[in-house]
Structure 1
């Protein structure tokens, strides 16, 4: 039997908000923490969607791991180099990645993403971590042939379903040091990426502080911190993704996502 929102409210004594953003930012999370409420629900029969459905911004960092920059023959930047993804790129942790048939070089990128918990502008590095609501996995799917054809990343990374994420938002208080977390990508069971977030060039406090100097970071913004080495691009061992490939991504302490690639007709 699938519980309704009314069932959940009755069992917990807390009214269920209409959105995850309301739960995170409008007092429900703090109320549950204060009351020490626990709740379990079997997810059979549910479709698990992206943990946050309409973030104000999705910001992805490029070349932010030393080993990834090296494999791409790129000098590690001294500050955050960013790409914006549209929110229509978001999809759930177990949903198919729907790739247009004209794409020939589809690639994966496991990334540690964080969700902003409060609005900030010109925040210091010392205060920056206090603005993080939580963490999740994000696959920064990229059409490499479109990337090089266009000469920039926007369309190549911005197509529908090119940001599988989840499986949930792990709140910041549960992660003592996000930079110590292990990241693993497997394609059809073969390990492609295996690293820790310690390989970041620009770390999370610096990312937040430096971005906030030029733009207001808002509650619910998703910021994805770059990918380690092991992507298909320029790899002599791995090919680009094909129809039916299964991508499994896991980040220590954050869970795992699994998505199958489906190419649409040209």
Structure 2
């Protein structure tokens, strides 16, 4: 199952992506007899049904295939937003690939290095990144994003993946000059409308092993990052377990799991994003972000 948020013309609505068509999630749930009133968002859906996603996927699949559910258009014509438009938390892990740690010259971390973004930072998978007026040092970081499906507190690593709704793609666009003005990274990481996220939340049953996925980033068609999630220092389950020991994770919360080597700041000369540049992040079995800087 692939969960999306789409622009209905009157705001974001929860949807499903199936065979390059976007469907109304509410229409599909009504047709399956699973809800009596519309749900306002993907987060609201996860809050109510995040523990039953395999069962719901099995019920909705035939309705999407036979046209019972309402299609709102092809993915090429419907504007997609961040799959969760209103997360309570957007957490990010820094320095989670050993090659990236090496290029920064930092010591290998012993625990996940965490920072935060906000819902206002997120944009859709094909939206423009219009932050070139904020910084001269705009950088890219292709990442796998985890979306939490049910409330998660003090969970064991062995059980952590059962709290995951699915995976998505995130580009941790960073204003490096703002990031390093102080000792905290927030200013460079939480810039408004600068973090592409999507196109969908893909449930784990469609992915298989989340620690064996190729990830690549391209700038203007040139490959600038390439790795596999098996090279994470802290795998997804460990990150979730670690965070949940001190912070309750809620349905719809997003965790970006770090970027591999190749960021623009560590190239010689640095590769900063400029207006007109196109940035693409590809994550195997999950999807592609394709954004232009303006």
| TM-score normalised by length of structure 1 | 0.90
User: Which residue of structure 2 lines up, in the alignment, with residue 184 of structure 1?
Assistant: 216
Rounded to whole Å, the distance in 2 between the matches of 1:102 and 1:45 is 30
Cross-structure match for 1:219: 251
Contact 1:58 1:85 in 2 (8 A): yes
Q: How does 1:65-214 map to 2 (within 5 A)?
A: 65-214=97-246
Structure 2 match to 1:20: 42
* Match in the other structure for 1:39: 64
Deviation of the 1:34 alpha carbon = 3.2
Task: Give SS of 2:179's match.
Answer: helix
Kindly state the Cα deviation for residue 5 of structure 1 after the two structures are TM-superposed. Answer: 5.2
Structure 1 SS opposite 2:169: strand
Q: How far 1:101 moved relative to its partner?
A: 1.6
**Aligned residues: CA RMSD:** 2.3
Q: Give deviations 1:28-73, integer Å, cap 9, x for gaps.
A: 8544523543426423442111101111100000111100000000
Q: CA deviation at 1:151?
A: 2.8
Equivalenced residue count is 261
Asked whether the equivalents of residues 98 and 160 of structure 1 are also in contact (C-alpha less than 8 Å), the reply is no
Alpha-carbon distance in 1 for matches of 2:24, 2:98? 46
Higher relative contact order (CA 8 A, sep 6+): 1
For residue 158 of structure 1, report the CA deviation from its aligned partner.
0.4
Report the CA distance shift for 1:11/1:186 in structure 2 as closer, same or farther (over 3 A).
same
Q: TM-score, normalised by structure 2?
A: 0.82
Q: 1:131 to 1:6 in 2, by over 3 A?
A: closer
* Contact 1:135 1:172 (8 Å CA) reproduced: yes
The aligned residue for residue 229 of structure 1 is 261
What's the offset of the Cα at 1:195?
A: 0.5
Kindly state the Cα deviation for residue 124 of structure 1 after the two structures are TM-superposed: 0.5
Deviation at 1:186?
0.3
Quick one: distance in 1 between partners of 2:80 and 2:23?
A: 15
Residues 1:38 and 1:252: Cα distance change in structure 2 (over 3 Å) = farther
Rate the CA distance shift 1:45–1:162 in 2: closer, same or farther, 3 A.
same
Shift of 1:25: 3.7
- The unaligned stretches of length 5 or more in structure 2 are 1-7, 9-21, 66-70
Gaps of 5+ in 1: none
